[in-house]
Structure 1
């Protein structure tokens, strides 16, 4: 793909992410008044009408970029994906995030989808060239394996972080009727769920490290130990009787888990 195509993809992704944040802030005004009144922007510093106009502008930018990108790649899948993601983000903010488990799964799915689309971006352009596609079969299979593993990683980390954020926001969520996991099952059960998911995440990373070491990707193998340590550190923060402060720390650590894990892909050569 050309620089123009890559730029359009970046614009579509960033505009979609920004639109998702804006519509989420609009939907969360009452919750944020309780959970973080000092950080409230929409409905306080920025009028709701202005925020809503910004949302529609950002979605329009994302869709236009996706249309042009689909034209350049001669592949409608990119347009369909961007449109689907924007739709999911809207439904998440308006409905899914207040439902038991559904909202968490939607965010985790979108995180995994972003990794998949970014990893397979070149393939959207190769699909129209049968000969080049056939020649690249071996490389494509390797990319499928790598991107698949990191998509699972992104799904699990996002799912854990969403659950921790719900634990942090339990007070406001309960008052406005959100059926988040912590509201329905309590903080104690939610903590055990987080630990269980972290064990699954560590198992996935450990399995991937074994494969990397076997294939000679020693740098990536070693770098992932940083990710392992961050996961363990985040889990330890939940020992005892964690409060809002600890949940905030865990949320930050999980951001670093995501960053360090994704960065490890830079040390893998095909």
Structure 2
């Protein structure tokens, strides 16, 4: 009896350890931290940008009392949740296929891989397919709910781009960097696009007049531009970190083609352009002290520090730290949406 209990305990413990280990590797494979960034971005675009902005617009409903009422979100929260699920499913699938094709270079650059060792290649491809199917199906569902079924083709396009990026485009000069930057910039746009579609559909039918909604894209365009620029910079920095493996397998990344010093110079120039763009947008379109202080402290100063670290870095581990700082800068840019909500809600402009 004691031996049976001991055997059961050993078996149970092994199963728990095996399950925990698999979950740990799966989470690493799908880059769970990056998925949280996607979720946070979409939530903030909806509730910190779109909702407070449209609440300041009055409209009169045809079947109402004739009183002017503030506009309200029209995409139900559960449909928005499905939209977020579509985005993170396709993103997770993209990370899996990326690691599937990067086994050889990752062995050189990082010394370990998950696909092919911790998770079988066939199982990785299965999960890639399942996540893409879920993402595309969810995307078409939300598109239909928003009144624009053809929006679902966006998710098919993104799925295809992520596959061909991993299989081919990332090996081509700058093409992969630009593609990742564009796809990252699409995340805030998706959140606003589907809400705009639902707003347009509802108020064009039920309101006496349809308020102008283009301004929503001006705001989200600013966040998308920031996401594009900072992602592009970080991709170049990551390619600098991965120089050894990329060079060994003939990838035409920027550092391989023009060298690490020149790549650092390109990164510095792009950072300077990003800083200049932020201040120009602030000066001509926002021009308030709160935004100036927030961006200066959380974005500009860290970017200047990144420039310093790039110009003085000599080892691979230093480049890795710089890449991490860039991710924090991107997070600070996303969190600016909270500042915008406070400014709009409390009329702080």
TM-score by length of 1: 0.93
CA distance in 1, matches of 2:121, 2:227: 32
Residue 43 of structure 1 aligns to a residue whose secondary structure is coil
Unmatched runs of 5 consecutive residues or more in structure 1: none
Q: Is the contact between residue 212 and residue 220 of structure 1 (CA under 8 Å) also seen in structure 2?
A: no
Q: Is the contact between residue 11 and residue 62 of structure 1 (CA under 8 Å) also seen in structure 2?
A: yes
2:295 pairs with one of 224, 228, 251: 224
1:49–1:179 distance in 2 versus 1, CA, 3 Å:
same
Per-residue CA distance 1:38-91 (angstroms, 9 max, x = gap): 3x1111111100100010010011011112112211212431111111111001
**Pairing 1:254–2:329 present:** no
RMSD: 1.7
1:69-108 to 2 correspondences below 5 Å: 69-108=142-181
TM-score by length of 2: 0.73
**Pairing 1:5–2:79 present:** yes
The Cα shift of 1:246 comes to: 1.4
CA distance in 1, matches of 2:247, 2:241: 12
CA distance in 2, matches of 1:241, 1:222: 29
Q: Which residue number in structure 1 is paired with residue 234 of structure 2?
A: 161
Which has the greater radius of gyration?
Answer: 2
Q: Is the contact between residue 94 and residue 163 of structure 2 (CA under 8 Å) also seen in structure 1?
A: yes
CA distance in 2, matches of 1:206, 1:221: 8
1:173-184 to 2 correspondences below 5 Å: 173-184=246-257
1:230–1:48 distance in 2 versus 1, CA, 3 Å:
same
CA distance in 2, matches of 1:58, 1:172: 28
* Paired residue total: 265
CA distance in 1, matches of 2:286, 2:147: 39
**Pairing 1:135–2:210 present:** yes
Q: Which residue number in structure 2 is paired with residue 122 of structure 1?
A: 195
1:222–1:134 distance in 2 versus 1, CA, 3 Å:
farther
CA distance in 2, matches of 1:128, 1:212: 29
Q: Which residue number in structure 1 is paired with residue 42 of structure 2?
A: none
The Cα shift of 1:143 comes to: 1.7
Question: Does 1 or 2 have the higher relative contact order (CA < 8 Å, sep 6+)?
Answer: 2
Unmatched runs of 5 consecutive residues or more in structure 2: 1-74, 345-349
The Cα shift of 1:120 comes to: 2.7
Query: Which deviates further from its counterpart, 157-166 or 230-239?
Result: 230-239
